A and B are shown apart, each in its own frame.
Chain A
């Protein structure tokens, strides 16, 4: 018991946190740009173990067109039924991060992405950059909406690209 408490407190210092993670997606085709941005994703990263977790409110995505935002929430993501999207995973072969010196690390991540109530295993390359005690994590990967049971009706299907690109940018600070 004592030992596990010790492990816990020791672990807390390794955790980096953000409340303003930026998640963008590009789902449009040449016919229409369907881009959403969410600047309120929360995320934690354990720099010792490489574990990481992301969560965001689907309703917080903003769009250039108000109607697109309504359709996104009402028809596609059903954000009242599935209010959150999340990712839980880890950096495989986590390098030793030296937080005191600036530098960057190319890493590979894997984990479970949950969108629209459906969980799928994904892998994605990412880059961690240490700068002034903060860690910036950037990653970009592609998903197929049908894998997450997001139904695009035939009449608008040609406005969507086959794959949706997701770009993640998080600036982590030590969790106090």
Chain B
């Protein structure tokens, strides 16, 4: 007999004995396992499992704006967020305009969190010399655990007042003609640590529109997404689809692509967009530049937060 073949046979036999031994000694193993569940950490895990907590999703987006548009994020209660948004001229201006760098459209604004779920903001855009004010309210927060909610919902309402000189000062003009309104429902879901998606059904009402054939109520739906590439950097895309029949003549849908870079208390957003305006009524319903014709604007948003009121800590009950 070949001894080399004999060896594995022996091993099988031995394994058999071991299995037999295991079965014979099983009471010992069982009691060992029982003892193991008396391990303090396991007991603690069982105890915490009895009291599940709601785990609210945070940081769906880096900041309160995805690019031009409002994201689902609010500034926290007691926090002031100063934002400077800057859009250069169009790239197709060529070398004469230094690819748009000779021109600028700017919005300077400040947002403040009254509570963690309610924020207000004021701003002034150089485009159409427009003042704006808005409020954003958190209605539902995405969460897991005790309370399982698949998405976050916020409501947004804004009011806009342009202060351009009347184009026809001789006719009777009304101040109400300068006023626009915007209402948005923001629906967002953070699918993973890196990827978030938002839908924003929007109604903009313009008291005065350029043509008699133009509707006063303008409907659109925005879609925005962010993909993190590192912990402190993300790529964002934003597009608003204007519903046919509810848009102004000669306007196109705005499409923007941006990068967020976060450094401590600052967020820098570098963007490319076909819109010149920065407020809702301007970029959603007043964009005329076409990506296909190189009517693209480089721009950036800079945000700096200041904690005016420190959060009060939860105390032991």
Contact = CB atoms under 8 A, between A and B. Distances in A.
B43 A44 contact: yes
Interface string A45-61: 01000011111010110
B313 interface: yes
B38 A11 contact: yes
A64 B45 CA distance: 29
Contacts, number: 98
Contacts of B10: none
Interface size of A as a range: 35 or more
B316 interface: yes
B38 A67 contact: no
A46 B43 CA distance: 12
Nearest to B81: A67
Nearest to B55: A59
B316 A20 contact: yes
A29 B77 CA distance: 26
B9 interface: no
Given A80-B193, A155-B264, A52 B40 contact: yes
A70 B59 contact: yes
B310 A53 contact: no
Interface string B67-91: 0000000011111000000000000
A62 interface: yes
A39 interface: yes
Nearest to A73: B58
B44 A39 contact: no
A142 interface: no
Contact of B307 (A43, A54, A65, A88): A65
A146 interface: no
Contacts of A15: 40, 43
B311 A51 contact: no
Most chain A CB atoms below 10 A, which of B30, B31, B40, B315: B40
Assign chain B's interface to a size class. 35 or more
A65 B315 CA distance: 16
Given A11-B38, A155-B264, A62 B314 contact: yes
B313 A37 contact: yes
Contact of B316 (A39, A59, A73): A39
B31 A81 contact: no
A70 B59 CA distance: 7
A176 B55 CA distance: 27
B31 A1 contact: yes
B82 to A, nearest CB: 14
Contacts of B244: none
Contacts of B315: 39
Contacts of A81: 193
Given A22-B316, A74-B231, A44 B311 contact: no
Nearest to B267: A67
A109 interface: no
Contacts of B75: 66
Given A1-B27, A55-B48, A59-B55, A8 B38 contact: yes
A167 to B, nearest CB: 14
A113 to B, nearest CB: 13
Nearest to B76: A66
Interface string B290-315: 00000000000000010100110111
A64 B43 contact: no
Contact of A55 (B31, B34, B41, B263): B41
A19 interface: yes
B243 interface: no
Contacts of B307: 64-67
> Which has the most chain B C-beta neighbours within 10 Å: A4, A44, A70, A153?
A4
B146 interface: no
B27 A44 contact: no
Contacts of A148: none
A64 B264 contact: no
B48 A155 contact: no
10 contacts: A20-B316, A51-B40, A55-B44, A59-B55, A73-B59, A74-B59, A74-B231, A75-B231, A80-B193, A83-B55
6 smallest A-B Cβ distances: which pairs? A66-B76, A53-B40, A64-B310, A4-B31, A53-B41, A65-B307
